[in-house]
Structure 1
Amino acid sequence: MKKILFAGTFFLSAWAFSQFNVKIAVPSYLVDSDIYLYGFNGSKDILFAKGKAGSTNAVVKVDKRYTGMMRAFFPKANGSVNLISENKDISFALDLDSGNRISNIVFADEANQLFSNQVETQRKQELILPALIQIKDFYKPTEGFYKSLDQEINTLSKKDNSQYASHPFIEFYQNSQKFVSQDKIADVKTDDFINYFTKSSEYLETSGLMKPILINYLNISKSNVEGGVDQLLAAVNVETPRGQTVLSELIDIFNSYNMVKLKEKYLKEGNNLKCTITDRLATTLKSNNNTEVGAKIPNNTFANAIHSKYKSLYDVKASKKIVVFWSSTCSHCEAELPKLLEKYEQLKAQNIEVVAFSLDSNLDEYKAKANVYPWISASEGKGWYSSYGETYNVNATPTYFIIDSDNKILSKPDHVGDVLSFLKVN
């Protein structure tokens, strides 16, 4: 008995303190800049570690066990690097182009070399292989170019799954592609999807594939989407962690695509659950419930504020407030915000204030653009990794809320014209 307890204690201790490092060779432009390392829970990014490139050889330490897709985010370069973790050290180097955007990544660890080669091969199989097969018909077998084409076609057509034997996550990712690829999806049946969601390992949650696969499932169920969703949720059981992650993803999808009735139905189902709620579903329920018309909008302490004497959203005193989420690189924002600017003095005269939260990752770009507008602006400088998306259920820019003096949501207009119309500003 003592031996078993000792072994179990040793295992738990090793599990709790196991960690890995992500080693990154960065160009001089990124020295002294932040690096954020995210994992996945469904389509939600989970911050695993934060580091700083103190020199051209940066190390981000991870103190949690994790196998799955990861993303290293570099705010200063306004870009990310996709990688996989097998709970082992990861190493890569990145280059920037003339605009200081990420242009090239070279991995040094075996798992990510294999994975990046697999992704590149798959891309060639989907985009280049069909063209090569057609081009080959224009050449004779005796010609050198024919032989080169034939060799490349044979290389791209081969499938060697033995190389994934010691990399189970890559094997899972590869086997999941038939549910993702638009070329293969026509051959996949409803029952195949349901079996995939009910029988897949925990790698499904960390693969980053759940959302695109769910969207494909909804597409093949388009003749009866609601029936398809009910069938899937019954199979995965919404009282289980897997079922709650699927439910959470579906609510987010319906919200993103403005499928209001379906969102309301399954949001209600989530709110009515009597079992233990996972953090993943609880976050989705909270962000939706807190941003419904009639709810009190969550407060926010301003970061990198411009044109503001206030410290938070609630501190701003006005009869009404227009809260807008935007970005300096958003073309729709470029088209809509000037129209709001035209009416700003009229809005101020009616004691209506504008508070704009930017989803920029480059603070210099944010400040340059925000200074053009006279209203209050703030930005965390983390792009779509900002807290704004989760807190305020923001899926696109611009997103508008109109709130009253008590910070209750009066309306969620789709466009600036709807904002002005609701406020009766001509």
Structure 2
Amino acid sequence: MLFAFSLHAQFSINIQTPAEFKEKDAILYTLNGSKDIIVSKEQNKNNSWVFKYPKNYSGMMKVYFPNTNNSVSFISENKNVSIKLETENNKIKNVIYQDEANELMNSIQESSQKKEMILPALAQIKEYYKDNTVFGKALVTEIANLSGSNTTDVSKYPFISYYNTNYAKFLSNNPAKKVSQEEVIDFFDKSNDMLESSSLIRPILVAFLNNGGNANVEQSVDKLLTKLKVETPRGQTVLSELIDIFDVYEMNDFKSKYLTLAKNLKCTITDRLASTLKSNANVEIGATFPNYKFQSAVNTTAQSIADVKADKKIVVFWSSTCSHCETELPKLLEKYNDIKSKNIQVIGLSLDSDKDAYNNKIKVFPWINDSELRGWNSSYADTYNIHATPSYFILDANNKIISKPNHVGDVLNYLNIK
């Protein structure tokens, strides 16, 4: 079967690294909405990884190196992709795109970023320099360069054309005109399959909801879903994204309504929506918290969450780079002795990727701490439907979820710790 797979590959992805890059495995992902979809896993052969992709695909892709927690993103135009990575201390320092499509996309992205971020600053600086000075002339030249329209012909690159055209229309900081909700709905309804693989769905949906205003969220969403029909794959992808958006922004009433709509669908459920339903079902009040086997936990001899014996357990997902965690976890630390005296265990699962930052932080946390050191690529991010840190769960002695507090104050109030 593997031999047949290679014979019928539509295109290949070749990733090259220096010999010093100590990585064995690489995982290839495609994209559906905002969700990475695992395609295959390959092993290092002579400092390179070659993936054979068996069918047509135009859109965003990613290769993730799990042991060193590195990733590289690129696009596919349904043609061979070639990338060379420059690394230092097992971290990617530079990405050299060697195929024409990715070279072009990277060039356009860099130009667009300069135009959106640097051009306004240059325009302000120009006010303080006369045009006839050396620096003033240089400013005028650079402003003219950045202000010019991109004349690159992208007609033979369907995905690049699709992405940049629709990004400029729906998401640019300086759109030619304000886009109406009807135009967005029409775009979602009539777009080809590159919408799902473009990474544009979620940001356009957020802009769509903002455009409708807080008072009209439900009306806006219902209008969109009615047009798309939630029984269709496109409708289910959009429904899944909306549920996640409402979760991220703590719009709980809307999340509850559209999650219920998804649960009650009688049609065939797509993998995309099924994953959203499963991750939400895992963490419903009353559900048994899915067990997690510790990787290298400290302050415990337990091998998993289920092995931890206590009357109650506080599970907190956090990160050393999270500003809210910096505020909240010290408050949990202040009350730790009171918590422990009630036979309540605290279990911290970190979404860190930097080992030193993680280890420095947990030195002051006396509770159980563990981390895969894979950031948001950690396995438990999907399992426990984690969209933000800190996120809290309170479990009973049998690992049933009895509360999902929003903040550390809610945790302490629920446990009656003053």
Cross-structure match for 2:154: 164
1:36 and 1:330 mapped to 2: Cα distance? 27
Q: Does 1:111 align with 2:101?
A: yes
Cross-structure match for 1:291: 283
Mapping for residues 22-421 of structure 1, pairs under 5 Å: 22-26=14-18, 28=20, 30-32=21-23, 34-51=25-42, 57-65=47-55, 66-74=57-65, 79-95=70-86, 102-130=92-120, 146=137, 149-150=140-141, 153=144, 156-160=147-151, 163-177=153-167, 178-184=169-175, 187-222=178-213, 223-363=215-355, 365-421=357-413
Query: How has the CA–CA distance of structure 1 residues 150 and 337 changed in structure 2, closer, same or farther, with 3 Å as cutoff?
Result: closer
1:411 and 1:151 mapped to 2: Cα distance? 56
Percentage of identical aligned residues: 48
Shift, 1:278, TM fit: 0.5
Amino acid of the structure 1 residue aligned with 2:115: Q
1:76 and 1:372 mapped to 2: Cα distance? 27
Shift, 1:280, TM fit: 0.6
Tell me if structure 1 keeps the 8 A contact 2:202–2:241: yes
The one-character-per-residue Cα deviations of 1:156-215 (angstroms, maximum 9, x if unpaired) are 422335x21221111110111111213218521111101110111111111111100100
Cross-structure match for 1:8: none
1:31 and 1:68 mapped to 2: Cα distance? 29
SS in 2 for 1:206: coil
1:175 and 1:15 mapped to 2: Cα distance? 35
Amino acid of the structure 2 residue aligned with 1:67: S
The one-character-per-residue Cα deviations of 1:373-406 (angstroms, maximum 9, x if unpaired) are 3322232232101121211111111110001112
Amino acid of the structure 2 residue aligned with 1:346: D
Tell me if structure 2 keeps the 8 A contact 1:294–1:410: yes
2:404 and 2:139 mapped to 1: Cα distance? 58
Shift, 1:261, TM fit: 0.9
Tell me if structure 2 keeps the 8 A contact 1:75–1:383: no
SS in 2 for 1:111: helix
Shift, 1:232, TM fit: 0.5
Residue-pair matches, total:
411
Amino acid of the structure 2 residue aligned with 1:169: F
Query: How has the CA–CA distance of structure 1 residues 63 and 210 changed in structure 2, closer, same or farther, with 3 Å as cutoff?
Result: same
2:260 and 2:280 mapped to 1: Cα distance? 11
1:211 and 1:103 mapped to 2: Cα distance? 28
The one-character-per-residue Cα deviations of 1:205-255 (angstroms, maximum 9, x if unpaired) are 111111001000111111411111111101111100000000000000001
Tell me if structure 2 keeps the 8 A contact 1:179–1:185: no
Tell me if structure 1 keeps the 8 A contact 2:83–2:99: yes
**CA RMSD, Structure 1 to Structure 2 (Å):** 3.0
Query: How has the CA–CA distance of structure 1 residues 374 and 128 changed in structure 2, closer, same or farther, with 3 Å as cutoff?
Result: closer
Query: How has the CA–CA distance of structure 1 residues 341 and 33 changed in structure 2, closer, same or farther, with 3 Å as cutoff?
Result: farther
Query: How has the CA–CA distance of structure 1 residues 42 and 26 changed in structure 2, closer, same or farther, with 3 Å as cutoff?
Result: farther
2:334 and 2:45 mapped to 1: Cα distance? 45
Shift, 1:351, TM fit: 1.5
TM-score normalised per structure 2? 0.87
Runs (5+) with no aligned partner, structure 2: none
1:355 and 1:129 mapped to 2: Cα distance? 47
Amino acid of the structure 1 residue aligned with 2:259: L
Amino acid of the structure 2 residue aligned with 1:409: I
2:189 and 2:154 mapped to 1: Cα distance? 23
Shift, 1:279, TM fit: 0.8
Runs (5+) with no aligned partner, structure 1: 1-11
2:408 and 2:174 mapped to 1: Cα distance? 39
SS in 2 for 1:316: coil
Cross-structure match for 1:7: none
TM-score normalised per structure 1? 0.86
1:397 and 1:15 mapped to 2: Cα distance? 45
Tell me if structure 2 keeps the 8 A contact 1:67–1:85: yes
Tell me if structure 2 keeps the 8 A contact 1:50–1:60: no
- After superposing the two structures, state which structure 1 stretch, 316-325 or 129-138, moved more: 129-138
- After superposing the two structures, state which structure 1 stretch, 269-278 or 337-346, moved more: 337-346
Query: How has the CA–CA distance of structure 1 residues 150 and 406 changed in structure 2, closer, same or farther, with 3 Å as cutoff?
Result: same
